Structure 1
Amino acid sequence: MEAAAAGGTKPSEGFISADHEAEYRAFVEKHPDIEAVEFLLVDPNGIIRGKWAPGDSLKKAFQEGVNFPMSLHGLDVWGREVEETGLHIETGDKDGYCRATRGSLAIVPWAKRKTAQVLLQTFTPEGEPFMACPRQVLKHKVAEAHARGFFPVAAFELEFYLLDPSKEDSAGMPAPLGTGEGPDRLRMYGLDDLAENAALFDMIRDAADAQNLPIDTIIKEAAPGQFEVNLKHRADPLRAADDVILLRRIVMGCARAHGLTATFMAKPFIDYAGNGMHVHTSLLDGDGANVFAGADGRARLESAVAGLIKTMPESLILYINTWNGFRRITPGSYAPTHAVWAENNRSVALRIPVSTEENRRVEHRISGADANPYLVMAAIIQGMMEGIDSGAKPPPPVEGSAYDETADLGRELPDDMDDALQLASRSAFLDRALGPLLAKVYRDLKRAEIIAFWSEITPLERTTYL
């Protein structure tokens, strides 16, 4: 259970903590006319699940909690029960208590009724953190880092497409904005596409302000209708991961309000760039100084990089968590194909951006935009810690393109979901990064999804062989 801040007052009877009570009371004082509340819970796939409830039920999330079956964390990407996880009927399909996360209570600007939303995390009936809940797992991982004297800082960047439902491509999918009339408009870093969609992006920024999400820049990306939103760094990886979940919801909700569809699918179009999730991570010491700064810091940074390189193949199933996501990993696509690093080079999996020493950090570039940010962050922290602990040395940084087949690029990353899962299953890294319960549940979910895709005959096969 999240404790009250040190030195804080004792919470009133029934509230989780003094901080939670203060957040709840300030919100209802500002918004006394709430008609509905949306309870949000994130499953291992990074999908928001939950329920709508009357406005007067909001208080429960800040007190005993809202009941949800703990088996929610054993659903595959289609929302189907995966019995192999051991979380379903064999347990009696028990309810847990799902309680509010600090800082997540906010208005839903695009809702027609006066609606609040709050992000939840799962506890067992006995009040213990349920360790198949991704947020609880990351909370535990951050606590481990803090106990070691390291305080992670993180900032996420997410790419997405805006699609026009009134236009379809040859496969019947909504077409990206900017296609269908003359040559495709890539217009990378162009301002015209931002200006043409200014009302939507203004709504996204306003919604982010209302929900306390620190949006930084919005960029036109490398394909028609593709954009990127960068979030400012937080010295709290939990809140940084929360920001990703809520930003995806904001973008999709605001796009819908403008008659468009937004998708964070990793590779929605074969001919265009995929959608990535880039994570900038550094570590602070107890005094708030970057442990990667200075000569000693440089050695520590390289050890962290070495740990991430060593563990990347067996943790790839966390970074690329969908069958579709592996279509994004192709040479020349700015999606990395090898576990390599470099300075100021966007073709690699781990980039050290140009910065002052005080801002020295690692940019982790492998994840798809639809990955679960809690699990991505947990694996990054674990990989960095293992590299630092062992004093590992990375291979030489890549010079030039990391897609150069004539160069010695080290270990190639799996380009197939089954291969990635087999690597993860033969390694104990997922157990160390996620804990044994979620590691098992996650492997079971991915195996069930792979089998489902193997069981499907594609339209291409039918048109070819019938």
Structure 2
Amino acid sequence: MPVTLPGRRPDEASAAAEPADEVAAYLSTYGEPEVVEVLLPDTSAVLRGKWIPGRSITKIWKDGVAIPLSIFGLDIWGCEVEATEIHLETGDKDGLCWPVAGTLKPVPWAPRPTAQVLITMHEPDGSAKGAPWKLDPRQQLAGIVDRFTARGLAPCVAFELEFYLLKPSDVPGAPPEPVFPATGQARQNMYSMSDLDAFAPVLHDMRAACEQQGLPADTVISEAAPGQFEVNLYHRVDALAAADDAILLRRLIDGVARRHGLRASFMAKPLVDFAGNGMHVHVSLMETAGGNLFAKPDGVGDRALRHAAGGLLATMAESTLLFVPSYNGYRRLVPGSYAPVSISWGYDNRSVAVRVPNGPPAARRLEHRIAGAEAHPHLVLAGILAGMLEGLEREIEPPAPLSGNAYEHEAERLSPSMEEAVRRFFASDFIARAFGEDYRRIYGVMKREELAAFTRQILPLEYDTYL
């Protein structure tokens, strides 16, 4: 049965771009591709989709792409989660996916002339394009953005993405191995220029691919461990496009790394002895009339920023499963790791969950530091924006901002395990209001099943200890 997204009407579904514009521009610049890859991020941000012959490129915009609605009921391994009750119980009907405007791009790392385009799901309801499908994370984010629009606000968003470059192991079934610089240095080497130099060929190819695809990549830095890097994306006053950029950047990094014989890992904690991979999100709120709400004078901006931060803190425990959706992700949230462990905020403090960075008033923003790099950018941003909106609407005052080392302060702990995060998510009235009761149940069921799969495994350490 069709279900309307909270805060989003079916007649507000995003229209597909006109092929006469986007496709014609692509063909004029690059010629006809052999293949068009249509990319649909599922609930875990795993890219699903199809290869479509390049000669049929205009049909994607004219007819849409048929993909089962139940693709958003697959677990991280791509298996159906029957407990969602959206598979054979419904007849496993097709939805119609339409291109996301502005995402038709060449694939520089492909061995043959290839194009790619993001698509988003609608359900066939008799209308021309169909109603937005409530289980598509991009449509969930769109619904929350609409609520900001109704308040005369537009989120201005930038993602920062951390990843490791690893070497595939020569041992079948073994995980990829760290790649140490020529010095063999196997310790923390924060912001090292020598590490950037050691990986210069692959990093320069990533930068070139970003330029060719029009991804707004900014700074590249060497992070806290050998072979770990961070790419920052420019701010966009378009929350959906900012999340799209993060999805496409991960694919680009992975594709270019493979061409160099490496593996890019966005796993939250791939190496026990080194820092994990985070996805930091910067958000300010632009008023329709112009200017940053957080920069308004006479205390108006300060109050709005406090309320937005208060909403993030008040909803953080319930939303953690969106920010840290993997079993492995909770290994990253440990004291002293530059990943937060408490429900806290502060000014220019990298040990808290929500940071107010230094900078000019016009750039005043909140930095959300909880999410792992493996999380779904659209769901992460939806959870952040929904929390900020909760704070603005209810005028939630946060506790005092923390200064100094937040790991040494007494503050409520973030969910220390996936089990607790699942429990808090299921019990959340906030999640039901922001995402809908159906989404709370289906997403929660999927994560509960994934958790069960991990807890059924016997670790090698257990054999070493007890056998």
SS at match of 2:311: helix
2:404 pairs with one of 400, 417, 425: 400
Work out whether residues 182 and 198 of structure 2, in 8 Å CA contact, stay in contact via their aligned partners in 1.
Answer: no
Counterpart in the other structure of 2:281: 279
- Kindly state the Cα deviation for residue 323 of structure 1 after the two structures are TM-superposed: 0.2
Matches of 1:454 and 1:186, distance apart in 2: 32
Consecutive aligned runs of 4 or more in structure 1 exceeding 6 Å deviation: 1-5
Correspondence list, 1:290-305, <5 A:
290-293=292-295, 294=297, 295-305=299-309
Counterpart in the other structure of 1:12: none
Counterpart in the other structure of 2:315: 311
Q: Give the TM-score of the pair, scaled to structure 2.
A: 0.93
2:237 pairs with one of 235, 242, 246: 235
Amino acid at match of 1:205: R
- Kindly state the Cα deviation for residue 253 of structure 1 after the two structures are TM-superposed: 0.3
Counterpart in the other structure of 1:46: 45
Counterpart in the other structure of 1:131: 134
Matches of 1:218 and 1:401, distance apart in 2: 27
Alpha-carbon distance change, 384 to 165 in structure 1, aligned in 2, over 3 angstroms: same
Counterpart in the other structure of 2:176: 174
Counterpart in the other structure of 1:102: 101
Alpha-carbon distance change, 402 to 79 in structure 1, aligned in 2, over 3 angstroms: same
- Kindly state the Cα deviation for residue 264 of structure 1 after the two structures are TM-superposed: 0.4
- Kindly state the Cα deviation for residue 2 of structure 1 after the two structures are TM-superposed: 9.3
- Kindly state the Cα deviation for residue 51 of structure 1 after the two structures are TM-superposed: 1.7
Matches of 1:173 and 1:188, distance apart in 2: 24
Counterpart in the other structure of 2:439: 438
Amino acid at match of 1:455: R
Query: What is the number of equivalent residue pairs in this alignment?
Result: 452
Alpha-carbon distance change, 289 to 368 in structure 1, aligned in 2, over 3 angstroms: same
Counterpart in the other structure of 2:5: none
Work out whether residues 21 and 62 of structure 1, in 8 Å CA contact, stay in contact via their aligned partners in 2.
Answer: no
Amino acid at match of 2:457: E
Work out whether residues 347 and 358 of structure 2, in 8 Å CA contact, stay in contact via their aligned partners in 1.
Answer: yes
- Kindly state the Cα deviation for residue 291 of structure 1 after the two structures are TM-superposed: 0.4
2:192 pairs with one of 187, 190, 193: 190
2:269 pairs with one of 267, 270, 274: 267
Structure 1 unpaired stretches of 5+: 6-14
Matches of 1:374 and 1:427, distance apart in 2: 20
Work out whether residues 214 and 232 of structure 1, in 8 Å CA contact, stay in contact via their aligned partners in 2.
Answer: yes
Amino acid at match of 1:142: V
SS at match of 1:229: strand
Work out whether residues 11 and 131 of structure 2, in 8 Å CA contact, stay in contact via their aligned partners in 1.
Answer: no
- Kindly state the Cα deviation for residue 70 of structure 1 after the two structures are TM-superposed: 0.8
1:141 pairs with one of 139, 144, 156: 144
Amino acid at match of 1:206: A
Amino acid at match of 1:81: E
Matches of 1:166 and 1:326, distance apart in 2: 25
Counterpart in the other structure of 2:60: 61
Amino acid at match of 2:120: Q
Matches of 1:16 and 1:408, distance apart in 2: 50
Correspondence list, 1:84-99, <5 A:
84-99=83-98
Counterpart in the other structure of 1:460: 461
- Please give the per-residue CA displacement for 1:71-117, whole angstroms capped at 9, x wherever unaligned: 11000000000011121011111011111001110001011110010
Counterpart in the other structure of 2:79: 80
Matches of 2:179 and 2:385, distance apart in 1: 37
CA RMSD, Structure 1 to Structure 2 (Å): 2.0
Alpha-carbon distance change, 431 to 313 in structure 1, aligned in 2, over 3 angstroms: same
Counterpart in the other structure of 1:343: 347
Work out whether residues 4 and 17 of structure 1, in 8 Å CA contact, stay in contact via their aligned partners in 2.
Answer: no
- Kindly state the Cα deviation for residue 183 of structure 1 after the two structures are TM-superposed: 4.1
Structure 2 unpaired stretches of 5+: 1-9
- Please give the per-residue CA displacement for 1:193-240, whole angstroms capped at 9, x wherever unaligned: 212222211211111112211000000000111000000000001000
Matches of 2:134 and 2:425, distance apart in 1: 19
Amino acid at match of 2:38: F
Amino acid at match of 2:30: H
Counterpart in the other structure of 1:425: 426
Amino acid at match of 1:428: D
SS at match of 1:403: helix
Matches of 2:137 and 2:187, distance apart in 1: 39
Work out whether residues 326 and 415 of structure 1, in 8 Å CA contact, stay in contact via their aligned partners in 2.
Answer: yes
SS at match of 1:63: helix
Amino acid at match of 1:208: C
- Please give the per-residue CA displacement for 1:266-300, whole angstroms capped at 9, x wherever unaligned: 00011100000000001011122100013210111
Counterpart in the other structure of 2:379: 375
Greater CA deviation, 39-48 or 360-369?
39-48
1:362 pairs with one of 359, 362, 366: 366
Matches of 1:86 and 1:172, distance apart in 2: 35
- Please give the per-residue CA displacement for 1:373-420, whole angstroms capped at 9, x wherever unaligned: 11111111111111111111110111100100xx332x1111100101
- Kindly state the Cα deviation for residue 431 of structure 1 after the two structures are TM-superposed: 2.0
Matches of 1:422 and 1:186, distance apart in 2: 36
Amino acid at match of 2:66: N
Amino acid at match of 2:163: F
Amino acid at match of 1:260: L
Counterpart in the other structure of 1:120: 119
Greater CA deviation, 292-301 or 358-367?
292-301
